[in-house]
Amino acid sequence: MPTYTVSNNSFTSSLSSKEKFRLAVQNTTDPFTFVNIAANAGIQQANNNLAGYGQGASGYGKRFGAGLADQLSGSFFKTYLFPSLLHQDPRYFREGAGPFKWRLVNAITRPVVTRNDSGRRAFNWAELLGGIAASGLANAYYPASNSGVGPTFKRAATGIPFGMIDHLIDEFGPDLERKFLRRTKALDKSHLSHSAGGH
């Protein structure tokens, strides 16, 4: 998964607008992003989400295109434009160690609490306004049944819990990965020792 907007270090310096734009581009052009969009388009098609797009190759293409547009606009508004205008930092600062409770709070509050370019904590206006802007732009290419004021704010609101999940993965994912790799290495060593003993 792309982790360009995740920092394993505590806040030391702010990002320039150019650096925020670079983060947005990196997130959007990462190969995993395209794989994720393709998989989500397939799930949407199977569940007939965005039903106005229809089925078949044409329907899948429209869903993939909409997913790509969502990714582009989300990165542009939430990682570059509003963080630059409001002088807020789009990065997630991973604790990586310390009490589980504090790490959990750090992750689940990140969609609404961020840091200013000065390093001070602040309400995450960039994330909120960026989400609304991206959701509003989607009305230009979503089917009519999924467009309008209600669906726009519903999509923006849904982005908050999904953001929490993303940051929980950002915070605890590396820990789980290390545990998995240690367990795999231990199993491999055990298998090798048994194989050697058997011979």
End-to-end CA distance of the chain: 41
- Which parts of the chain register pLDDT below 70? 1, 184-199
CA–CA separation, 27 and 131 (whole Å): 16
Give the model's pLDDT for residue 34.
Answer: 95
Residues whose CB is less than 8 angstroms from the CB of residue 64 and which lie 6 or more positions away in sequence, other chains included: 37, 38, 41
Residues whose CB is less than 8 angstroms from the CB of residue 173 and which lie 6 or more positions away in sequence, other chains included: 1
CA–CA separation, 91 and 133 (whole Å): 19
Each residue of 64-84: pLDDT tens digit?
999 999 999 999 999 999 999
Distances (CA, A) of 173 to 3, 22, 75, 94, 181: 11, 24, 22, 11, 12
- The identity of residue 109, as a single letter, is T
Give the model's pLDDT for residue 92.
Answer: 92
Query: Do 7 and 94 contact (CB within 8 A), yes or no?
Result: yes
Each residue of 161-188: pLDDT tens digit?
999 999 999 999 888 888 887 776 666 5
Q: What is the pTM of this model?
A: 0.83
